Structure 1
Amino acid sequence: MQATSKQLPKPIARQGNAQQPRTPKPRRFDPRAMLSNREMQAALGSGLLMLIAWAVSGWSEVLSVLIYVISYTVGGWIKAKEGVETLVKDRDLDVNLLMIAAALGAASIGYWNEGAMLIFIFAMSGALESYTMERSKKDISSLMALKPATAVRIEQGAMSEVPIDLLAVGDLLLVRPGELIPADGKVYRGESAVNQASITGESLPVEKTTGSEVFAGTVNGEGPLYIEVTTAAEHTLFAKIIKMVEEAETEVPDSQRFIKRLEAVYARVVVLVTVILIVLPPFVLDWSWSNTFYKAMVFLVVASPCALVSSIMPAMLSAISKSARKGILFKGGVHLENMAKVTVVAFDKTGTLTEGIPQVTDFIAGEGYSRDELLAVSASIEKLSRHPLAEAIVRLAEEERVELYSTHESKSVTGWGIEGWINGRLWRIGKTNVLDEAAAAVEGERHASWKAVRKQLESEGKTVSLILEGDHIAGMIALQDTVRPQAEVAVRKLQKLGIKVAMLTGDREATAAVMAGRTGVDLVFADLLPEDKVTHIKALREQYGHVIMVGDGVNDAPALATATVGMGMGMKGSGAALEIADVVLMNDNIEEIASTIELARRTQRIVKQNMIFAVTVILTLILSNFLQGIALPFGVVGHEGSTILVILNGLRLLR
């Protein structure tokens, strides 16, 4: 790219009225945010009115009842509305209607304060759960507020502000200091530190210079940047994240679906038993009507499944929220639930355990061929491919300023390599497996010598490709990828959790074995086509149970879909991989996988604790009501208090 190919105006200072985006900060508990929650305000208002009504009850019974009615309305309106909507739309009973019915029942026999207390605590627990969900959604989707609306586009040296929807690939943009970067692109000119926390979760700004990649929704630092757009607005990484967030907000884990189904049945049973308790005891046990109705109302309160219903989602949302802060996006709670069960993590090699930027280490020309000629031929054919190995060969040709040829009928050979015609001759570049074929059109001695060269190169951990002119071997190329600095640490952390680590690669066994030795993986599967990866993932699931597949390329997409949980690399991952993945590592930091699995397991433990605690409290209160008899206020505090406790237990994950 030549600097003279575009007319660049001088950098312009940011206008005084330009919007200064806020740098995202980690969220901690904020009482002001909780108090601004509408449901929390209603709950607190209800509680205050309850205290006032109780205080004036000795002075004026009528005024006290009037204030109690207002307290019921303020605290119970939202829940009553939700209950009626469920009844009308879904023809189902839920805990909201049960609680409102219990409160009205208590009031009907003169227990106004107990009913108001029930409404207050029930509204408070609902407000806490609502706050948890709101906070979690903000942690997951706070970057939505960073969606740029316009961009400064440069055309023929003139600048104009345009909506981002009108940007096209190749457009040149100016991003002033402190402004949001409006599109995915590459820095054309300028130097600055860019805050990428909204996309990758990185806490420190990343230095950007000419040629660096930048992403929509990130914040430019102190220097102006000229950016060339590389991706249309609807396909940016930012747009993909927003889609993931929308999926995460609608997908419900299996355990929560089960609880929802149970709630509908359970609520009907509670209502039926309550009616029976109201009707039968006066005739069968000779109880007074008021005593019977009182015990029925206590049962209605303590038997309601509020705590059980709240056992799962606050904990799940808290865990998803915590992961989002670290740049790990879940597309729903079901994937967090599945992640807690995994026993094997399978990595694709290139771009996952390695950097995915291989370099040509050896370029060997056969007898009768010139190295420059073979490099020109190889780069001419490979320039049409987006494969990392192909790009490495093209980079080498560019560095050595080799003049390329015109290529005809170039096409990919699935699972092997690429071929094309140059000056009437067919050239093929691909895997060296032709050396192992009995029908290889090469004399025995030369055949053996090429195999010896391949063996030596592969023993050094290099990937080897063969250059063929027709069926004749013309040369050999060796390339090597660099292991990610954190790969060995990531593998070791997973193994400490008792998880087996597998590596799936299309490389030959010798190359894969060297890479396995460097990273410490337990299982190695080499010479794989995309369909082979799917086969091995299925086999791992059958042998070990639940499997996570971590990948970044189009060829990993089928395996990601087959695994229990598919995990995609967000920074360098292909669109297909991100589309299919259930979880996305936005900063490609694979060493966070182990801590995410730990978080998923901890979440499951908290959910189990909550469910056991909730069921125990419900059964204890029901038995106490029938065997000994408990006061309605005690039933209210015991039952609704348990609901608040399970919500707070789930909120522990946000620490």
Structure 2
Amino acid sequence: MAEKCCSSNIEVKPIENSCCTSTVKSEKSSCCSENKNSGNNSISTLDGENSSGCSSSNSKKESEEETSCCSSKEQAPINTFTNSISSVENVTYRVNGMDCSSCAVTIEKGLSRLKDIIEVKVNFSSGKMQVVASNTNALIPIETEIQKLGYSANPITQNKKLKTYNIEGMDCGSCAKSIENHLNTLPSVKNVSVNFSTGKMKIEHDSSVDDIISEVSKIGYKASLLAKKHSNQSLQKPRKEFNLVIFSGVLIAFGFVGSLINIFPMLSTILYAIAIVMSGYKPAKSAFYAIKSRSLDMNVLMSAAAIGAALIGEWLEGATVVWLFAVGTYLQNKSIERTRDSIRNLMDLAPPEAWVKIGTEIIKKPVEEINVGETIVVKPGEKIPLDGVIILGETSINQAPITGESIPVDKTIDDSVYAGTINEHGSIDIKVTKLVEDTTISKIINLVEEAQEQKAPTEAFVDKFASIYTPIVFILALGIMVLPPLLGFGTWGEWFYKGLELLVVACPCALVISTPVAIVSAIGNAAKNGVLIKGGTFLEKAGTITAIAFDKTGTLTEGKPKVTEIKSVNGSEEELLSIAFTLEEYSTHPIASAIVDYANRNGIKRYNGDSFKNIVGKGVQATIQDEIYYAGNPKLFEMLPISLADIKKHVQELQTKGKSVVIIGTQNKVIGIIAVSDTIRETSASALQNLIQNGVKQTVMLTGDNEGTAKLISSEANVNRYFAELLPEDKVDAIKKLQNEGHKVAMVGDGINDAPALATADLGIAMGGAGTDTAMETADIVLMADNLEKLPHTMKLSKKALRIIKQNIWFSIFIKVVALVLIFPGYLTLWMAVLSDTGAALIVILNSIRLLKFKE
């Protein structure tokens, strides 16, 4: 384990136990002597018999005052970094998309040029990158820069100062920006990121949690620390806020009625003023802090419009503006909560407690207190609380929460089970294999949350557009208020009113919401159906795919050979299987295992055999009832003094169909033939047919098998095209060939063996993620089930999401254009402008959350 060496920021990796206890005067063995006279803290690595480092060269008394670290006899070389400050940030990232070691070099060179980055080390084999920076801010652009280089990265080391908060009350992305800007003005805050879609804030700060909550409340929002044990509790929206909205609406109604009957006109104005204060207090407070932090969010624009309306005597307009804004905001928040619930529902899947077997007793314990290796008991109908392996009992497990599979899976001793799945029938004892934070469901939740926080290209573009659009229209509104009346075109009141309308229209809320809510909804839907989409970028890519390449073995096929044909030549079929069972029982070859499994399933009894012998590359032999029997390929029997003329034609026919042939016989006769082959998955043909029906132009199979086998499998699997006799590196060339033909290509494989092809494709899809951590980490999209059943749903969902995003964007722009056009002829009123903004935002949200209910 690396230790910090005295006061310097150097990691020492000792070979033997070491500590900073002794004082050594020798220059050779010195470590970590401090230079008190010089501001230069540069460090050099000295390679000597006794590894020494960090000795200062500018002090005359260094040889007498050096402090020794690591007093053991033998030391490892010291890892040193040049820096000019006392604090160093060391963060490890998981890098996706690398397909060779040169990619690692590219990343190292690209990131080393960034300001305040001390060292970058990328390990291609493990897919990890270590970055050492002189300050935290230097790490902020890391992920963006890696994306520019064509890769993606996520930090995997915990920052103890980085905390996550739930934020309530945000109406759109500009609210998130206002919170960021305000908190960035605090000296104790190092960096902050607020995500409107997920309602979460990640912040690194030195102050207390209460201080952060207090600062957020000043801006008009509510923050609460996200704690693990409470993370599965849904947030309760305060009822008080809604009651105020209703009451202020009643006041406006009374004021309007009073103005119509013209009794005590001043009373109507007072009622409007009270309604403005009640509904407008929160946005006005938020607007104050937004202006203070130099933000132009919707609260600023709406508050300015309401105050301006009151100043020119349009009290009803002002009251209506803030009331409609409050109603729209409330409805938006209620709607957006539905998208956030998609993750909270996942969190509720695994029970918080489990029955633990301790000796003869069974005790209920919180899952956080259960360790790996302990035994838990799950009764019929209960949810499984932790990942593990069945050690007693057998049952059927409903794995739909993890894999999306609708049919329960039979499980027995030594089978793996996952937290959050449902035990349908028998009581089972499970040996825990993962802690609560490491379970498959926990990883799914973390990956989905990270995916929802990443901005898709469309979302990034819209945000940039909005950041330019809003200030331009704001300045234009101020110009319209002042310039026309100064130049003699109309009255001050007339143009001031038009300027207020333009302020409201300047709010791009619907446009900003158009993309992230759709993406969050789609990713949440996919997660419920057993598909992990790693971010909006990959969701958008999936919607543009025109060709999908599939690895054959284990993807289109089961990956496990099965007996497909039995032909008896001399004797009965049962006798043939009994002899084959006896011969193959002790072999570990996959073909032998297939024959043994078939015999066991069909209740075949084996004979007593001895003198078992493996014939390398050809088969096996054993003595049964004093006679030597053989099981092997045709090459083995060609060596024996018997004729294969009677079966040769049949053997060739089976081989042409891509089947492996096992001949059973003695030195004198052939007893029979058993054909074994890898079979197509039941779901493969229908899944590929659905893909073609939903707009995928090419389905392609990549295999190392011969032409004949490839042709047969491709016809069974409904594949348009195949590439046969491929080495692993040839699969990359096949992907590039498809890309050169103009296709956007997705590659489906197991996430490990097909890594180069997955990285080369426009979209990498891994299958069987429920049992493979590597697949969950490396691919862009992960099918949790070990079949292709959910792939068509994923492609349809992504296409639907793209359509909805486009609908939202064009609708938002259309509403803005119409509102802008109607301002100058005088057809647009202030309350209509507010309704067009909040109404459009609400319609966009409702349109987006349709993706939560989207089904196959």
Q: Is structure 2 residue 501 aligned with structure 1 residue 298?
A: yes
**Greater Cα offset, 610-619 or 561-570:** 561-570
**Structure 1, residues 440-477: CA drift from partner, whole Å, max 9, x if none?**
xx99xxxxx9x999965542233699xxxxxxxxxx99
For residue 503 of structure 1, give the secondary structure of its aligned residue in structure 2.
strand
Q: In structure 1, what is the Cα distance between the partners aligned to 2:334 and 2:725?
A: 51
1:503 is matched with which residue? 701
Question: CA offsets per residue over residues 234-262 of structure 1, 9 Å max, x none?
Answer: 54322321222222231221111111111
Q: Matched residues in 1 for 2:463 and 2:804: separation?
A: 19
Q: Which runs of 5+ in 2 are unaligned?
A: 1-233, 259-263, 567-578, 618-632, 640-644, 663-672
- Aligned counterpart, 2:486: 283
- Contact kept, 8 Å, 2:747 with 2:757, in 1: the verdict is yes
Instruction: Verify: 1:546 aligned to 2:749, yes or no.
Output: no
- Determine the structure 2 residue equivalent to 1:618: 816
Aligned to 1:237, which of 431, 435, 440?
440
Deviates more, 1:560-569 or 1:497-506: 560-569
Find the aligned partners of 2:741 and 2:307 in 1 and give their Cα distance.
57
Amino acid corresponding to residue 693 of structure 2 in structure 1: K
Larger deviation: 344-353 or 116-125?
A: 116-125
Q: Does 1:103 align with 2:306?
A: yes
Match for 1:332: what amino acid?
Answer: G
Partner of 1:64: 271
What code does the residue aligned with 1:621 have? A
Q: How does 1:404-419 map to 2 (within 5 A)?
A: none
Is 1:145 the equivalent of 2:353?
Answer: no
Q: Name the CA shift for 1:615/1:590 in 2 (closer, same or farther; >3 Å).
A: same
Does 1:52 find its partner at 2:251?
A: yes
Same amino acid, percent of matched pairs: 38
Aligned to 1:3: none
Shift of 1:211: 4.8
The structural deviation recorded for 1:292 is: 1.7
1:462 aligns with 2:659: yes
Distance 1:126 1:66, change over 3 A: closer
Q: Is the 8 A contact 2:350 2:420 kept in 1?
A: yes
What is the identity, as a one-letter code, of the residue corresponding to 1:485? E
Distance 1:305 1:557 in 2: 42
| Paired residue type of 1:532 | D
Secondary structure, aligned partner of 1:482 = strand
> In structure 2, what residue type is equivalent to 1:622?
L
2:685–2:718 CA contact under 8 A, matched in 1:
yes
CA shift for structure 1 position 150 = 4.5
Preserved contact between residue 379 and residue 423 of structure 2 (Cα < 8 Å): yes
Tell me which residue corresponds to 2:50.
none
Q: Find the aligned partners of 1:621 and 1:602 in 2 and give their Cα distance.
A: 28
Query: Structure 1 520/164 Cα, relative in aligned 2: closer, same or farther at 3 Å?
Result: same
Distance (Å, rounded) in 1 between the aligned partners of 2:692 and 2:533: 23
Q: One-letter code of the match for 2:503?
A: L
Aligned residue in 1 for 2:125: none
Q: Choose the corresponding residue for 1:189, options 371, 378, 392.
A: 392
Q: Partner of 2:421 in structure 1?
A: 218
- Would the aligned equivalents of 2:367 and 2:436 in 1 still touch at CA under 8 Å? yes
1:271 aligns with 2:478: no
Alpha-carbon distance, 1:398 to partner? 10
Aligned to 1:12: none
Distance 2:774 2:385 in 1: 23
Pairing partner for 1:38 from 230, 233, 237: 237
Equivalent AA in structure 1 for residue 493 of structure 2: S
Determine the C-alpha separation between the residues in 1 that align with 2:796 and 2:584.
Answer: 49
Cα distance, 1:246–1:325 mapped onto 2, change above 3 Å: closer
Spell out, residue by residue over 1:149-179, the C-alpha distance to the aligned partner (whole angstroms, 9 max, x if none): 4544445555455564676665433223443
Distance (Å, rounded) in 2 between the aligned partners of 1:452 and 1:108 = 99
Tell which deviates more after alignment, 101-110 or 564-573.
564-573
SS in 2 for 1:630: coil
In 2, are the aligned partners of 1:552 and 1:572 still within 8 Å (CA)? no
Partner SS state of residue 546, structure 2: strand
**For residues 442 and 728 of structure 2, what CA distance do their matches in structure 1 show?**
27
Partner of 2:338: 135
Equivalent residue, structure 2, for 1:489 = 686
Give the secondary structure class of the aligned counterpart of 2:560.
coil
CA deviations 1:408-461 (Å, max 9, x no partner) are: xxxxxxxxx9xxxxxxxxxxxxxx9xx9xxxxxx99xxxxx9x99996554223
Equivalent residue number for residue 534 of structure 1: 732
Q: 1:372 to 1:491 in 2, by over 3 A?
A: closer
- Structure 1: distance between partners of 2:501 and 2:841: 16
* CA deviation after TM superposition for structure 1 residue 343, in Å: 0.2
Residue 319 of structure 2 is aligned with which of 101, 104, 116?
116
Counterpart in the other structure of 2:48: none
Q: Secondary structure at the match of 1:188?
A: strand
SS at match of 2:339: helix
**Residues 221 and 591 of structure 1, relative CA distance in 2, 3 Å threshold:** closer
> Do the aligned partners of 1:184 and 1:229 also contact (CA within 8 Å) in 2?
yes
The answer to whether the 8 A contact 1:133-1:317 is kept is: no
Distance 2:687 2:545 in 1: 16
Partner in structure 1 of residue 527 of structure 2: 324
Counterpart check, 1:73 vs 2:280: yes
Q: Matches of 1:402 and 1:170 in 2, distance apart?
A: 40
Whether 1:480 aligns to 2:677 is yes
Question: Could you give the per-residue CA deviations for residues 320-375 of structure 1, whole angstroms, max 9, x where no partner exists?
Answer: 33333333332222222111111012222223222233236799xxxxxx999995
SS at match of 1:285: coil
1:547 to 1:589, Cα distance in 2 relative to 1, 3 A = same
- Please state which structure has a larger fraction of its residues in helix: 1
- The CA deviation at 1:95 is 3.3
Classify the secondary structure of the residue corresponding to 2:741.
helix
Task: Give the paired residue count.
Answer: 562
TM-score of the two chains, using structure 1 as the length reference: 0.74
> In the superposition, relative to structure 1, how do residues 286 and 529 fare at CA in structure 2: closer, same or farther (>3 Å)?
same
- Cα 1:506/1:161, change in 2 over 3 Å: farther
Are the structure 2 counterparts of residues 393 and 167 from structure 1 closer, same or farther at C-alpha, using a change threshold of 3 Å?
farther
Q: How far apart, in 1, do the equivalents of 2:816 and 2:659 lie?
A: 64
Deviation at 1:74, TM superposition (A): 5.4
Structure 1 contact 556–577 (Cα < 8 Å) conserved? no
Is 1:201 aligned to 2:408, yes or no? no
**Aligned 1:387-398 pairs, distance under 5 A:** none
In structure 1, C-alpha distance between the alignment counterparts of 2:291 and 2:689, rounded to whole Å: 53
Give yes or no for contact 1:540–1:547 (8 Å, CA) kept in 2: yes
Secondary structure at the counterpart of residue 766 of structure 2 = strand
> Contact 1:552/1:573 (CA < 8 Å) preserved in 2?
no
1:50/1:240 Cα in 2 relative to 1: closer, same or farther (>3 Å)?
A: same
2:658 is paired with a residue of what secondary structure? coil
Q: Tell me, what secondary structure is at the counterpart of 2:504?
A: helix
Counterparts of 1:488 and 1:545, CA distance in 2: 22
Residue 523 in structure 1 maps to residue 712 in structure 2 = no
Q: Distance in 2 between matches of 1:402 and 1:544?
A: 60
TM-score (norm 2): 0.58
The offset of 1:309, in angstroms, is: 1.8
Q: Does 1:256 align with 2:470?
A: no
Q: How does 1:567-646 map to 2 (within 5 A)?
A: 567-570=765-768, 574-588=772-786, 590-646=788-844
Q: Deviations over 1:275-299 (max 9, x none)?
A: 1112211111343222221110011
CA deviation string 1:470-510 (max 9, x = no partner):
xxxxxx99752221112111111111233111112333333
The answer on whether the counterparts of 2:380 and 2:425 sit within 8 Å (CA) in structure 1 is: yes
State the alpha-carbon separation in 1 of the partners of residues 804 and 313 from structure 2.
Answer: 39
Q: SS of the counterpart of 1:130?
A: helix
Amino acid at match of 1:122: F
Q: Report if the CA contact (8 A) 1:184-1:236 is conserved.
A: yes
Higher normalized contact order (CA 8 Å, seq sep 6+, divided by chain length) = 1
CA 1:123/1:53 → structure 2, altered by over 3 Å: closer, same or farther?
closer
